[in-house]
Amino acid sequence: MTQTGQTSRIEMGGVTASWFRMPATTAEPHASTTAADTMGLSFTPHRGAVIQRASGRRERIDVARNALFVTCDEPFDWVHVAEPYEGVELTLSEAAMRETATRHGIPLDSTPPSAMMPPDPVFWAAAIRIRLHALGTAPLSDVEGEELARTLLSHFACEHLGGTPERQNGRPLDGRRLSRVTDHVEAGLAGRLSVSDLAETASMSTNHFHAAFRRATGLTPHQFVTARRVERAAALIAAGRTREEAAAAVGYTAGHAFRRALARFGG
């Protein structure tokens, strides 16, 4: 992603992660480009955004909140986006793609099509973790960044390209259990959510669940729940609800703890 705006980059062992918060792009010349071999997540929804591919072809697309998008070998420019936008992009080196393909038994010439995909909780959590780094509230160490990138690439290879999971000790939470947990979180944002409740939903002990969840998402269960509450509250505020109403809808009062959560996880 290249454009004037608020941006931050971090190298994560063969993956370059970029967080960006940009003004609306409504006039040409435009300078907002998504590179080839990139996976991205848009925190903001858009209707009728216009992109121009490297071939010159223009397309009008709708982008859902937290949508995952993938490019293969064709970069594109964001020509028209009517609203300010925020997201995270991860551009892969050839070495990282080859290493992931080898680890998960995927043919080296297997490349995903350019596509807009439904929200993915693993990518969303990783994007939140990268946003925390960009905002300076929870910097990623080199080792943590590389582990997060490896987790993301393994997840994509297995969930979207038919790869074979590695045999290893201390495996991350599998997709079926993760889906049950995230559904439970979404349904319970206005009430009390504890790690023991989430562990029970995943049919795991609390200790094993905590470690497996963090390996799968890059966030602790507490960080994940707080980030989901902040995102829900921010969407309610943007839709015209008062801060007090938004806080109550996600289990907070509109006091210091709520303001601190908004500042830390939403900037």
Question: Cis before residue 112, ω within 30 degrees of 0?
Answer: no
**Between 72 and 258, where is the model more confident?**
258
**How far is residue 21 from each of residues 43, 68, 86, 88, measured CA to CA in Å?**
10, 17, 4, 9
Q: What is the pLDDT of residues 129-158, one digit of tens each?
A: 999 999 998 888 888 898 899 888 888 888
Whole-number pLDDT of residue 74:
80
- Give a yes or no: residue 133 inside a domain: no
Please check whether residues 116 and 244 belong to one and the same domain.
no
pLDDT at residue 31 greater than cutoff 90 = no
> Residue 180's domain is classified under what CATH number?
1.10.10.60
pLDDT at 169 over 70: no
> What is the tally of structural domains in the chain?
2
Question: Do residues 97 and 185 both lie within one domain?
Answer: no
66 in a structural domain: yes
**Residue-level pLDDT at 71:** 86
Residues 73 and 180 in one domain: no
Of 113-117, 194-198, 232-236, 252-256, the poorest mean pLDDT is in 113-117
Do 60 and 179 lie in a common domain? no
The answer to whether residue 188 scores a pLDDT higher than 90 is: yes
**CA of 159: how far to CAs of 146, 154, 155, 176, 262, in Å?**
20, 8, 6, 11, 31
Specify whether 78 is located in the same domain as 110: yes
Report if residue 130 sits inside a domain: no
pLDDT band, very low/low/confident/very high, at 75 (cuts 50, 70, 90) = confident
Task: Examine the domain organization and report whether 149 and 208 are in the same domain.
Answer: no
Q: Is residue 196 domain-shared with residue 103, that is, in the same domain?
A: no
Selected residue with higher pLDDT from 112 and 255: 255
Which structural domain range is residue 91 located in? 6-120+140-160
1 falls within a domain = no
In tens, the pLDDT along 214-248 reads: 988 889 999 999 999 999 999 999 899 999 999 99
Single out the residue in 131, 160, 189 at which a domain terminates.
160
Which pLDDT belongs to residue 232? 94
Q: What is the CATH number of the domain that holds 20?
A: 2.60.120.10
Q: Are residues 29 and 155 in the same domain?
A: yes
At 1, the pLDDT band (50, 70, 90 cuts) reads low
Comparing 73-82, 87-96, 243-252, which segment has the lowest mean pLDDT? 73-82
Is 2 a residue whose pLDDT tops 60? Answer: no
| Residue ending a domain, choose from 130, 160, 190 | 160
Same domain, 150 and 18: yes
**Confidence (pLDDT) at 30:** 57
Which range (23-32, 86-95, 149-158, 210-219) has the least confidence?
23-32
The answer to whether the beta carbons of residues 260 and 230 sit under 8 Å apart is: no
3-state secondary structure of 52: strand
Query: What pLDDT is stored for residue 110 in this prediction?
Result: 65
Query: Band of the pLDDT at 86, cuts 50, 70, 90?
Result: very high
Q: Judge if 108 and 222 occupy the same domain.
A: no
Q: Does 4 score more than 70 pLDDT? A: no
Q: What is the mean pLDDT of the chain?
A: 87
User: Which of 97, 108, 137 is CA-nearest to residue 223?
Assistant: 137
**Cβ–Cβ < 8 Å for 64, 45:** yes
> Both 190 and 240 in a single domain?
yes
pLDDT at position 3 over 60? no
pLDDT of residue 225: 93
Confidence of residue 29 (pLDDT cuts 50, 70, 90): low
User: Residue 196 has which token pair?
Assistant: 């023991």
Q: Are residues 33 and 155 in the same domain?
A: yes
State mean pLDDT over 25-42.
Answer: 80
> DSSP secondary-structure letter at 12?
-
